[in-house]
Structure 1
Amino acid sequence: MMYRLLIGRCLSALATALIPTTLTLAVLRVTGDGGALGIVLACELIPMLLLLPVGGVLADRFRPARVVLVADLTRCLSQAAIAAELLLGLNRLLDLALLSALAGAAIAFGSPAVPRLVVAVVPVRDRLRVNARIGVVTSLSAVAAPAIAGTITVGVGPGWAAGVTAVLFACSALTLGGIRTAARPRSDAALDERGRTCPVRLLGPGAFSSFGQDLAHGWREIKERPWFLACVLGHGVWHFVAGLFLTLGPVAAVLHLGGEASWMMIVQSGTVGMFLGVFAAPRLPIRRPLTAVQAGAACYLLPLVALAVSAHVVVLAAAYFVAMFGLGLLSPLWETAVAEEIPEGALGRVRSFDQLISFASRPFGLAVAVPLAGLTGVTALAVTGGVLVAAANLAAIAWSPPRRARPAEEVAAGPHGAATGSG
């Protein structure tokens, strides 16, 4: 089942990464208007943000494989409809916007279910290794997808690129949706006041809580863990500052550091750094994962300082490499640590809050970067952003929970679960 999970996540990650380039090229080819592109992208983002809390509740109420199946099939249908629209030459902006909104809603329902699916399939001793592998395939997809989508669009048109995306979503839906997980008990179990599974007799009449009660239980789990809230807010600052850098960095590179090739060098160095960080995460002797997570996020200070002082392109590329190496460490360690600390019955709701902060912060940073730079100057904005991202994430270390002893069977298996194989 673990290999099936990895294959399904690879297909889904590649399909997801194909969408932005395909949609961007399609809208620009149809309208030639950057404002129209902004409308279509906003139509995907807004329902995703609004529906994430709902998706978190559903992820905890139903089998995660079924939730992911429906979500990926919905995205498959939306991409197939976009492909048909473009191939038939209809080219209606309203249709593309509505179909993008449907895809955004599907992301909101599917994303919180993925951590629960990993927990349901992967034993505790193997989770860090599996999360690292998922991080690797996701990183590779993010690198390969723009080239794939661009090649297909230039060669035969954006409609065919959307069609390929639809096929990939169909394959991921069938792969992930076919994973067998334990059924959520309906007749003799439900959630207690803290979101944990417990016998219905402990709850009295009305075995299943309302949507509002489920949402409140999820928020209670977050409030009881100040470390989680502090870390998530720090990660939100990271995403916001990343939006600033990814807007100001290309402008500085093109105008002052040697042109487009300089920015591509910076981006590719970051890609290599992230890949190596993900690869290293399960192999390093990290005794306090949450400390490593927050230190990794704080490393984003480096490229912002380099940008502020107009450092040479090689220095900026090296700084971005270190920052993205930190992100590579962060991703699998965070996924694993949260799965260990949060009760499985509340994991979908808790992670939906995490994803909501992350999904909202980066577009906000992208949107306000130029206006803020016009008010303060690039140097002041970069320094401020760097100080904020370092301070917010390093301060969260103070709330880290004490490290728990590893179970005896995990110790016996070794740091990589070697005693049990990879299943």
Structure 2
Amino acid sequence: MTAAGTEAALAPVAAAHPAHPAHPAHPAHPAHRSPQVLRWLGAYTASTLGDSVYYLALSWAAVSSGTPAQAGLVMTVSAVPRALLMLVGGVVADRLGPRRVVIVSDAVRCLSTFGLAAILLLASPGLWVLAAVALVFGTVDALFLPAVGALPPRIADRDQLARVQGMRGLAYRLGAVLGGPLGGLAVATGGPAGAFGVAGVLFALSVPLLCTLRLRSLPGDDRADRDGRDGRGKALSDLRDGLRYLRGHRILGPLMIVVLLGDLGFTGPANVGLAILSEQRGWGASGIGWVLAGFGTGAGAAALLVTVLGRIPRAGAVLGWAIVLGAVTLGALAQVPRLPVAVAVAVVTGLLTGLSGVLCGTLVQTECDPAFLGRVSAVSSLGSLGIAPLSYPLTGTAMGLWGPGPVYIVSAAVCAASGLFALAVPALRRAELSGS
């Protein structure tokens, strides 16, 4: 329901965080005109497109080389190291610096996909090669995701971070929309080897753009640099420090609960539930595509809105109410019998959940001490990418027993509880984005 990341700054909290001054001493560069932000956005878009093409090529190659069960196992391999190592990835991002981690991550993905493309051109390897590459990607994702969440405060002024998050949301939607057709075209013309080659090119495009970034230093970076040079094995201690910092933060701690509850309620119905709902309503496979397109359109519109406005007054309250209203529309999705109405409901749901996701991402980045930003980003990503998918089997089983209607209502209630919790925590409810 919400994406990893947030940024809220009450005046007293901002005073307690000199790492993020409430107002920059010089006029802020609008994010959409900043060369730094545009280079980062170009790299992120190329990387997102590469991801979409890679996963399509991997699924096609796995299905072509084995049984459906074996293909599912190959696709699941990536999730294991990503879930297990995500928190470690946050520590690595804070110790080594997010720019370095993101560059190395995309370079490894580039080399891995080019290597797999070469192997597929020269031989017909078994599924174990695909599984090995999937394992590498899952490990790299565990490092990449926290690091990419820690970059925006180092390339943009604090009052531009909402715009940066909106632009990131648009780039993600662009990658999701264009990546599928691009990957399909690549498979159709060059087979899986050609598609993996295209993914490698896209990852390669991001690396020089990332290398040209000049990150600003933030208070706390010196401490991270010293920790990164300390060879005495402080990783576990750093992880404990990050979790302790998060637990004691009056905005970020509650926000992580909001993210986790929202994702637990939303992920199952939005993924497993749609297929079951479409089958029972007689919408067919195309119906799933139309509803997903509705979600994407609404979320993209929310990202564009925040990019244009840049400032959302009373961000904490808007976040809470957006989640509550999004929960209502999510529950309504299972009650509408006609596909056009379901698509319209999905658009509204995507708009509300997309808005709450952007606000969450911006709040994390402005509220968090830079020295802990990688670890905090890792915790929020772990909720959506590691814990929430565990609800898939439960959602499918429950819908098989009771049908989609009751399960959607229960899921909507979990999402609504997330929003109500955000509204019940005074510090989070009153949180403001910089400049609002």
Q: TM-score, normalised by structure 1?
A: 0.86
Distance 2:407 2:257 in 1: 20
1:341 aligned residue: 367
Offset of residue 394 of structure 1: 2.1
Does residue 245 of structure 1 match 2:285?
Answer: no
Paired AA for residue 380 in structure 1: P
Counterparts of 1:3-18 in structure 2 under 5 Å?
Answer: 3-18=38-53
Distance 2:328 2:218 in 1: 46
Distance 1:64 1:254, change over 3 A: same
Offset of residue 139 of structure 1: 0.6
Does residue 30 of structure 1 match 2:65?
Answer: yes
- % of aligned pairs identical? 26
1:194 aligned residue: none
Among 276, 280, 286, the alignment partner of 2:301 is 276
Counterparts of 1:76-115 in structure 2 under 5 Å?
Answer: 76-115=110-149
Distance 1:310 1:393 in 2: 24
Does residue 67 of structure 1 match 2:101?
Answer: yes
Q: Which runs of 5+ in 2 are unaligned?
A: 1-35
Does residue 331 of structure 1 match 2:365?
Answer: no
Offset of residue 404 of structure 1: 6.5
Offset of residue 406 of structure 1: 7.5
Distance 1:126 1:190 in 2: 26
Instruction: Identify which of structures 1 and 2 has the higher relative contact order when contacts are C-alpha pairs closer than 8 Å and 6+ apart.
Output: 2
Distance 1:185 1:250, change over 3 A: closer
Whether the 8 Å CA contact 2:324–2:416 is kept in 1: the answer is yes
Distance 1:132 1:304, change over 3 A: closer
For residues 342-378 of structure 1, what are the alpha-carbon distances to aligned partners after superposition, in whole Å with 9 as ceiling and x for unaligned?
1001100111111111102342233332212223332
Paired AA for residue 176 in structure 1: L
Whether the 8 Å CA contact 1:302–1:320 is kept in 2: the answer is no
Distance 2:60 2:421 in 1: 41
Offset of residue 220 of structure 1: 1.3
Distance 2:347 2:247 in 1: 35
Among 290, 297, 300, the alignment partner of 1:265 is 290
Distance 1:207 1:78 in 2: 29
Helix, strand or coil: the match of 1:179?
coil
Whether the 8 Å CA contact 1:289–1:333 is kept in 2: the answer is yes
2:160 aligned residue: 126
Offset of residue 176 of structure 1: 1.2
2:18 aligned residue: none
**Which 10-residue stretch deviates more, 365-374 or 385-394?**
365-374
Distance 1:277 1:134, change over 3 A: same
Distance 1:160 1:118, change over 3 A: same
Does residue 140 of structure 1 match 2:165?
Answer: no
Distance 2:390 2:280 in 1: 24
Distance 2:433 2:404 in 1: 47
Distance 2:194 2:235 in 1: 40
Paired AA for residue 273 in structure 2: L
Distance 1:73 1:82 in 2: 14
Superposed CA RMSD? 2.7
Paired AA for residue 286 in structure 1: I
2:240 aligned residue: 216
Q: TM-score, normalised by structure 2?
A: 0.83
Offset of residue 276 of structure 1: 0.5
Paired AA for residue 16 in structure 1: D
Distance 1:20 1:302, change over 3 A: farther
Offset of residue 254 of structure 1: 3.7
Distance 1:245 1:121, change over 3 A: closer
Distance 2:255 2:301 in 1: 23
Distance 1:248 1:235 in 2: 20
Paired AA for residue 257 in structure 2: L
Does residue 298 of structure 1 match 2:324?
Answer: yes
2:91 aligned residue: 57
Does residue 151 of structure 1 match 2:185?
Answer: yes
Whether the 8 Å CA contact 1:305–1:386 is kept in 2: the answer is yes
Does residue 235 of structure 1 match 2:269?
Answer: no
2:315 aligned residue: 289
Whether the 8 Å CA contact 2:154–2:217 is kept in 1: the answer is no
Whether the 8 Å CA contact 1:273–1:328 is kept in 2: the answer is yes
Paired AA for residue 160 in structure 2: D
Paired AA for residue 26 in structure 1: A
Q: Which runs of 5+ in 1 are unaligned?
A: 192-196, 201-205, 416-423
Distance 2:431 2:356 in 1: 19
Distance 1:84 1:299, change over 3 A: farther
Distance 1:207 1:80, change over 3 A: closer
Distance 2:192 2:213 in 1: 32
Does residue 190 of structure 1 match 2:214?
Answer: no
Offset of residue 82 of structure 1: 2.2
Distance 1:305 1:335, change over 3 A: closer
Paired AA for residue 342 in structure 2: L
**Which 10-residue stretch deviates more, 122-131 or 96-105?**
122-131
Offset of residue 29 of structure 1: 1.3
1:19 aligned residue: 54
Whether the 8 Å CA contact 1:290–1:400 is kept in 2: the answer is no
